[in-house]
């Protein structure tokens, strides 16, 4: 955090109308358009080196920062919903008059010799889509303070693979504000003293990642990280038109249509550690193209290479085309094979699931049910994307090949080929 250095100046009295900054330079907390901000009754003006300025002083030439005190100019107090003032990052760093007199009366000097400590868990938290989770965060003072302090709390989600950071929640006392897709789904759990844990409800696929909990007391601030992972399964997905038909944006779309998101490298690497072996290259979340190999062989880089996750590196998101690796999380609902007296076309399969009070299952839902619900069935069934697949946990001679997994028959003719169907019922 930037701390301003103040110095007494003997300058002529000026008015707000006189305050004009020549050749403004953008600077943290200063307007790049006007070069001028009114902050708690004072003007902060940054000027270009060598530009004509007023009034002149040796100190001004040396520091490049002019502080003019306006005795009659007073900003209104901080009000709920006022977010356009300088230094805004969810709350205001400048202490109000009440803050300066809070605690034991020492104001901003209260924390001299006192350490603010923020505690968050070191281990990764695992949960599943649709659940609620608490991201723990507590703070304390060393040594402990006798009088309570009003602090400012901010939670935000850190950037992942080039995505922008996301503000989640800011709070001062009982006042708080939530942002974006988190509105209505997050709140602080302040049941205990110094507990500022964040609860997220109805978790979504895009909620996994790293979150920062920041506690600010005046000019002192400390923070901690909480890493949230959704329990899930990585699966490769190929277009109905065949191998290597998807650019990056189309890969994102087909994963979403199958109840999943594009997998991250960390998720693919974890899947490889668990035994995923796939020779077709696919998009990942960071727009790189990679594939996991457990058994090196000629079509997959050659038998002389060691097992691992092979990488083609970054590719053009629009021009280059590959398959895609999707990531689906554990389900709240249930995937099941519909016992039906006859085999069905794709249209008949959709209607049969609806008649049973369910919907035809998506590919991501079938993979999640195989991985987390133990779904084991040697009967091929239609899925929502027009493919026919079946999940096997305990292989036997009638369910080739001899390893656990989700088998695929590709995309049969939806009008002439007859299969069973896998349905999904929400709990």
Residue 276: CATH number of its domain: 3.10.100.10
> Distance between CA 178 and CA 198 in Å, rounded?
11
The CB density around residue 309, as the number of other CB atoms within 10 Å, is 16
Q: 51-65, 244-258, 326-340, 410-424: which range is least confident on average?
A: 51-65
As a whole number, the mean pLDDT across the chain is: 78
Could you tell me the residue range of the domain that residue 379 belongs to?
332-426
Q: How far is CA 385 from CA 43, 212, 251, 258, in A?
A: 62, 38, 14, 8
Q: Which residue has the higher pLDDT, 287 or 45?
A: 287
**Confidence class of residue 278 from pLDDT cuts 50, 70 and 90?**
very high
Confidence bin at 75 (pLDDT 50/70/90) = very low
pLDDT of residue 164: 79
Please tell me whether residues 180 and 247 are part of one structural domain: no
Q: What is the pLDDT of residue 63?
A: 40
157 within a domain of the structure (yes/no): yes
142-171 average pLDDT score: 87
The domain that holds 193 is classified in CATH as: 2.60.40.10
- Residues 333-365 pLDDT 10s: 899 999 999 999 999 999 999 999 999 999 999
Query: What percent of the chain shows pLDDT beyond 90?
Result: 56
Do 130 and 220 lie in one domain? The reply is: yes
pLDDT band at 149 (very low <50, low <70, confident <90, very high): confident
Q: What is the SS3 assignment for 265?
A: helix
Are residue 320 and residue 349 in the same domain, yes or no? no
Contact, 352 vs 338, CB < 8 A?
Answer: yes
Q: For residue 105, is pLDDT > 60? A: no
In a domain, 401, yes or no: yes
Q: Would you say residue 57 lies in a domain?
A: no
Tens-place pLDDT, residues 27-38: 444 333 333 333
Q: What is the pLDDT of residues 395-417, one digit of tens each?
A: 888 787 788 999 999 999 999 99
Select from 261, 254, 260 the least CA-distant residue to 385.
254
From 296, 328, 360, give the residue that closes a domain: 328
Q: In terms of domains, do 207 and 220 share one?
A: yes
Q: Do residues 289 and 353 share a domain?
A: no
Dig out the tokens for 11 from the structure.
């300058």
- Residue by residue, DSSP assigns 42-100 as EEEEE--TTS--SS--HHHHHH-EEEEE-TT--PPPP-TT---STT-SSS--SPPHHHH
Question: 297, 328, 359 — which closes off a domain?
Answer: 328
Domain boundary among 210, 230, 250: 230
For residues 150 and 165, state if they share a domain: yes
| Residue 288 covered by a domain | yes
Residues 277 and 300 occupy one common structural domain: yes
User: What average pLDDT does this structure show over 292-320?
Assistant: 93
Task: Return the closest-CA partner of residue 422 out of 342, 334, 341.
Answer: 334
Highest mean pLDDT among 11-15, 230-234, 345-349, 371-375: 345-349
Same domain, 323 and 406: no
Our count of domains for the chain comes to: 3
């Amino acid at each position: 955090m930037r701390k301003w250095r103040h110095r007494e100046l003997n300058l002529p009295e000026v008015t707000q109308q006189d305050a004009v900054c020549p050749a403004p330079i953008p600077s943290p907390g200063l307007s790049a358009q006007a070069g001028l901000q009114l902050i708690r009754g004072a003007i902060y003006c940054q000027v270009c080196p060598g530009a004509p300025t007023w009034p002149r002083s040796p100190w001004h030439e040396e520091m490049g920062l002019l502080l003019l005190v306006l005795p009659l100019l007073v900003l209104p107090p901080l009000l709920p919903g006022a977010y356009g003032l300088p230094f805004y990052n969810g709350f205001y760093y400048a202490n109000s008059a009440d803050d300066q007199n809070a605690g034991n009366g020492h104001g901003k000097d209260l924390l001299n010799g006192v350490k603010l400590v923020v505690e968050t868990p070191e281990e990764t938290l695992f949960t599943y889509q649709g659940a609620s989770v608490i991201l723990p965060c507590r703070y304390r003072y060393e040594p402990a303070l006798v009088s309570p302090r009003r602090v400012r709390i901010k939670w935000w989600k850190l950037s992942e693979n080039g995505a922008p950071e996301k503000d989640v929640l800011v709070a001062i006392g009982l006042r708080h504000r939530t942002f974006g897709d988190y509105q209505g789904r997050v709140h602080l759990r302040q049941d205990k003293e110094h507990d500022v844990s964040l609860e997220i409800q109805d978790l979504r696929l895009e909620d996994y990642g790293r979150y920062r909990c920041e506690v600010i007391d005046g000019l002192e601030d400390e923070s901690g990280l909480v890493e949230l992972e959704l329990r899930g399964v990585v699966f490769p997905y190929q277009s109905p038109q065949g191998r290597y038909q998807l650019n990056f944006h189309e890969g994102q779309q087909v994963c979403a249509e199958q109840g999943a998101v594009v997998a991250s490298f960390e998720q693919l690497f974890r899947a490889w550690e668990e035994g995923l072996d796939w020779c077709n290259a696919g998009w990942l979340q960071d727009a790189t193209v990679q594939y996991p190999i457990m058994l090196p062989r000629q079509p997959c880089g050659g038998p002389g290479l060691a097992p691992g996750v092979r990488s083609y590196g970054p590719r053009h998101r629009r021009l280059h085309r590959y398959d895609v690796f999707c990531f689906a999380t554990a389900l709240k609902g249930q995937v099941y094979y519909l016992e039906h007296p006859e085999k069905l076309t794709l249209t008949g399969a959709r209607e049969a699931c609806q008649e049973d009070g369910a919907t035809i299952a998506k590919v991501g839902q079938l993979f999640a049910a195989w991985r987390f619900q133990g779904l084991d069935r040697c009967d091929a069934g239609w899925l929502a994307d027009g493919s026919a697949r079946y999940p096997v946990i305990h292989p036997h001679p009638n369910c080739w090949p001899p390893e656990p997994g989700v088998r695929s028959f590709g995309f049969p003719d939806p009008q002439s080929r007859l299969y069973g169907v896998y349905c999904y019922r929400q709990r």
